[in-house]
């Protein structure tokens, strides 16, 4: 485990759910270390920025999947569901078509 202050700060941002603030902080720090050094610190900065994009992608995917075809939830469902459900109807995570 990395015990550098930049790594620990990233963990604090993550546990607080402050992704936008984490992105801003690490973007500023990456620029600072690129200009003033030490350049090795930029690795933790880019790790924090990548984590922001990773979490953002997961959240966007969660929000965009409001209706998914039953056949994509689990391939085994096709064995127990009626064909008409698979071909034309969708199941919402809320249980409403």
pLDDT in tens, 18-67: 999 999 999 999 999 999 999 999 999 999 999 998 888 877 776 555 54
Tens digit of each residue's pLDDT (9 = 90 or more) over 86-95: 444 545 455 5
Do the beta carbons of residue 26 and residue 10 sit within 8 Å? yes
Averaged over 3-31, what is the pLDDT?
A: 91
Q: Which helix (H) or strand (E) holds 59?
A: helix 42-64
Distance of alpha carbon 5 from alpha carbon 90, whole angstroms: 47
* Residue 85, CB-side half-sphere exposure with 13 Å CA sphere: 14
Inter-CA distances, 80 with 6, 43, 74, 84, 85, Å: 51, 49, 11, 12, 11
Residue 55: which H helix or E strand, with range?
Answer: helix 42-64
Q: Indicate yes or no: pTM above 0.85.
A: no
In the structure encoding, which two tokens stand for residue 73, read together?
Answer: 């939830």
């Amino acid at each position: 485990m990395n015990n550098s202050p930049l790594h620990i700060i990233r963990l604090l941002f993550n546990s607080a759910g402050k992704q936008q603030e984490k992105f801003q902080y690490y973007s500023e720090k990456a620029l600072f270390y690129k200009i003033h050094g030490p350049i090795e610190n930029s690795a933790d900065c880019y790790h924090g920025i990548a984590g922001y994009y990773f979490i953002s992608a997961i959240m966007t995917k969660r929000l965009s999947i409001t209706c998914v075809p039953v056949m994509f939830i689990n391939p085994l469902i096709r064995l127990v569901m009626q064909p008409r459900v698979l071909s034309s109807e969708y199941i919402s995570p809320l249980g409403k078509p």
